[in-house]
Amino acid sequence: MGLFDRIKHAFSGNKPEEETKTEAKYDKGLEKSRKTFGERMNALFANFRSVDEAFFDDLEETLIGADVGFDMAVRISDELREEVKLRNAKSQQEVAQTIVEKLVDIYDEEGKDEKNTINFAPTGPTVILFVGVNGAGKTTTIGKLAHQYQEDGKKVVLAAGDTFRAAATEQLEVWGQRAGVPVVSGKAQSDPAAVVFDAVKKAKNEDFDVLLVDTAGRLQNKVNLMKELEKIKRVISREIPDAPQEVLLVLDATTGQNALIQAKQFKETTDVTGLVLTKLDGTAKGGIVLAIRNELHLPVKLVGLGEQIDDLQAFDPNEFVYGLFKGLITDEPAKENE
């Protein structure tokens, strides 16, 4: 059963009445994106007369406006031309369902070999390096994740590797106090790699389970920043050969296509293993997840679905698609054309 069919099944009445906590968070967190996507689809079909070239031009504009990305918009439009002919779909409902089904199927297909869970070391400390531009939510993400891991019984330590902003170190220390975990920091403007080295030694010597590393995010000094990140990674892997287990790029979902551009820049210059999308609840640009999967082939590992400490969620592709398209998918069988 494909992802679209599984989602239809979920709408068919067989779904339990009580949503799970995760489902409820995705439902609420994607409310703005779902509403905007629905409005764009309704606007597309407001003057619907027939499936002609003008309709496909409008469809591409609608999808690009919904932040699913140019490449995916063109791909869906091209594939839909064939699908509409194949099904002889003519009514507004049939065409709308076919569009959503294509979006879901392409999304599912692009993520076939994707691993959305965090990689943990089989023995010794797991090191997770966080990268991304300033303001994307790196420090907050680290603090929330530290709290969650601590609650799960893991022994956690943080490294304040963004030594160029005193506020970043102070913010991480506040999160450390809140989560009840130690923070390794250095003096302002000190060598970030030296701070990370101290944190790695502490993690090894004191049997910590997880080390979460914050880094600077000055993308305007891209060459220097990337050299700095490479140096940090070398320091980590010299002490723990298989580390870091993850290099997570933190992106602000509210920036839409700018987040996609940032992801491309970071992917070109460092070995990103996965993405964290923050502030997904505060944006109508949830379609960016579709563009990221289609264009970058990087797994989303974590999503921010609210401001509370437990609103950082492990990314669930099924819950995401369900939350984004809820209300646009029906379980009514397509009418057979005579």
Of 275, 126, 273, 130, nearest to 192 by C-alpha is 130
Would you say 80 is a known binding-site residue? no
- Residue 215 labelled as part of a binding site: yes
Q: Is 291 annotated as a binding residue?
A: no
Cα 61 to chain centroid distance, Å, stands at 23
Residue type, 53: E
Q: Phi/psi at 162 (nearest 5 deg)? A: -90, 80
Q: Is 270 annotated as contributing to ligand binding? A: no
The DSSP-derived string for 43-77 is HHHHT---SSHHHHHHHHHHHHHTTS-HHHHHHHH
Is residue 280 marked as binding?
A: yes
Phi/psi of residue 276, each to 5°? -120, 125
Residue 8 structure tokens: 């239809």
Length of the chain: 338
218 annotated as a binding-site residue: yes
**Residues in Cβ contact with 122 at an 8 Å cutoff, skipping those fewer than 6 apart:** none
**Is 35 annotated among the ligand-binding residues?**
no
Q: Annotation-wise, does 143 bind a ligand?
A: no
Q: How far is CA 72 from the centre of its chain?
A: 17
Distance CA 29, CA 166 (A): 32
Q: Retrieve residue 302's tokens.
A: 């974590």
Judge whether 281 is annotated as a binding position.
Answer: yes
9/243 Cα distance (integer angstroms) = 41
Token look-up 């919904």 returns 66
Tokens at 195, concatenated = 């701070």
Residues with Cβ within 8 Å of 154's Cβ and at least 6 positions away in sequence, in order, are 209, 210
**255 is an annotated ligand-binding site residue:** no
Q: Is 27 annotated as a binding residue?
A: no
**Residue 3 marked in a binding site:** no
Flag whether 67 is marked binding: no
Annotated binding site: 132-139, 214-218, 278-281
Annotated binding site for GTP: 132-139, 214-218, 278-281
